[in-house]
Amino acid sequence: MPRVAVDVMLKREILDPQGQAVERALPALGFAGVSDVRVGKHVELTIEDGDCERAARRMAEALLANPVIEEFSVRVLPS
């Protein structure tokens, strides 16, 4: 059965407080030169449906992402 990954991120114009917190914390941990940190969600699904990419896209549109503030991408994972 195919595995599909759905990556959900806030749209660029939406403030990402979680990304900002990570960005501020990294230098204290010794990681310099990091900027523009964005934090999102990664969801992996095993789908029995024949058109698994289309099914995952419909799931993302209906539940996994908020289309007002988030964008998503769908990709079929290698077997």
- Give, for all 79 residues of the chain, the pLDDT tens digit: 899 999 999 999 999 999 999 999 999 999 999 999 999 999 999 999 689 999 999 999 999 999 999 999 999 999 7
Q: Give, in degrees to the nearest 5, the angle at Cα 55 between 52 and 59.
A: 135
Q: Is the pTM of this model over 0.95?
A: no
